[in-house]
Homo-oligomer: A and B are copies of this chain.
Amino acid sequence: MIPRYARPEMTAIWSPETKFRIWFEIEAHACDALADLGVVPREAARTIWEKGGAATFDVERIDEIERTTKHDVIAFLTHLAEIVGPDARFVHQGMTSSDVLDTCFNVQLTRAADLLLADIDALLAALERRAFEHRDTVTIGRSHGIHAEPTTFGVKLAQAHAEFQRCRARLVAAREDVATCAISGAVGTFANIDPRVEEHVAEAMGLKPEPVSTQVVPRDRHAMFFATLGVVASSMERLAVEIRHLQRTEVLEVEEYFSPGQKGSSAMPHKRNPVLTENLTGLARMVRSYAMPAMENVALWHERDISHSSVERMIGPDATVTLDFALARLAGVVDKLVVYPNTMRANLEKLSGLVHSQRVLLALTQAGVSREDAYGLVQRNAMKVWEEGADFLIELIADPDVTAVLDEETLREKFDLGYHTKHVDRIFERVFGRAA
């Protein structure tokens, strides 16, 4: 996570201030539950909320204490005692640091997931708007980078929309996976803390109780979370790469919006480069890479070790802040993408009709020619177009073996673009639930 690729709202989730506030809330809610159970005085719980709720935790002071204790939660509790006074001895009763740390981390991750979901919603909205705008903008479909058959630019965007709908559903599941609270004490037996405390804090913090923790929340949950971000990043890369391809000089069917004053190159002033989507391609590599240490974190030793902690201090912010920035950037790129329908049409016509070859092939077989013979007929005419720049329709009309089975009018009909777009409505219905 670096400021260059960070937005304030997501960054704030990972600030020390936010973290200490969440720690406080977990401790204070636990005190409430302990008061309900008669373990701590009701008055003490109230005092903790009042004094702690009003206080601004002093990050520098906590850091200073940690330099002695070498333990962050103890440092925080010591500072809290400075604020709350004698009643502070009722804080953290029967709990371990992990109860606080892990529950807090899950609160942060679920809040991060909420921002990411909002990012995806914005992206989906941009995709939907642009998809309908270009529902009927005919363009060439390409397989292997080679012209294949016509499609529409709207269908391309519809595909992306469907993909990010899936990403959204996966992110909802990933959020659910980490939305647990563990307040179970040392090695997770609840020996020193009643399970009802966990249930109370969970509800208060918008989480579910962890069915069985071992002092820590099991890390398969987080592995799944970060792996899911990696998949979302990969989908983001796909759309970014598509735009990069479409912007290249020889294709130039779309361009990233180029703001006045922006300079493409310190040397070549004519250049307008797809730098945003190139940037997104790199960011996708980063977000993807965090999945691996998250998976390696799962196999903690026995009831817990702390090897996961340094990883999570890094990938927690790194993965979520970077993906948030990237998704927002991608939504912006889609929203303002400059589209050139005329170039799309010109590119489409570049192969002098070859893109209709399959239709001719089918027509031949349907007229009774064997598949192998039809394939040969089409290919020999196609090769003339390919190698000599001839026009495919004219070649076919001039080939007596072809016209022996298909007359000119039938042949001409095979070159109709409408043939390729006739099911676009159906595809839009499937993706957006509406065709127009």
Contact = CB atoms under 8 A, between A and B. Distances in A.
A425 B179 CA distance: 24
Interface stretch (A43-51, A301-309, A400-408): A301-309
Interface stretch (A102-110, A117-125, A267-275): A267-275
A292 to B, nearest CB: 5
Interface in A269-288: 269-275, 278-279, 281-286, 288
Nearest to A222: B231
A195 B425 CA distance: 12
A228 B230 CA distance: 11
Given A359-B192, A426-B190, A234 B296 contact: yes
A351 interface: yes
A311 interface: yes
Contact of A2 (B188, B299, B313, B354): B313
A250 interface: yes
A347 B248 CA distance: 12
Interface in A58-108: 68-71, 73-74, 77, 81, 86, 88-89, 92-97
A282 B301 contact: no
B81 A371 contact: yes
A382 B270 contact: yes
Given A269-B378, A289-B289, A145 B5 contact: no
A245 interface: yes
B159 A218 contact: yes
Interface of A is mostly: helix
A318 B187 CA distance: 33
B293 A306 contact: no
Nearest to A191: B420
Given A163-B220, A220-B238, A230-B295, A144 B96 contact: no
B214 A159 contact: yes
Contact of A297 (B195, B264, B285): B285
A365 interface: yes
B278 A307 contact: yes
A145 B250 CA distance: 9
A166 B141 CA distance: 39
Interface in A132-177: 141-151, 155-156, 158-159, 162-163, 166-167, 170, 173, 177
Interface string A293-330: 10111111111111111110111001000100000000
Counting from the closest, the 4 A-B pairs by CB-CB distance are A141-B187, A145-B248, A270-B382, A144-B273
28 contacts: A2-B313, A77-B266, A96-B266, A97-B265, A142-B248, A145-B273, A148-B187, A149-B268, A151-B303, A155-B214, A166-B177, A190-B426, A191-B422, A211-B431, A223-B231, A224-B228, A227-B228, A268-B355, A268-B358, A270-B354, A270-B357, A278-B309, A279-B306, A282-B307, A282-B310, A283-B311, A289-B293, A291-B292
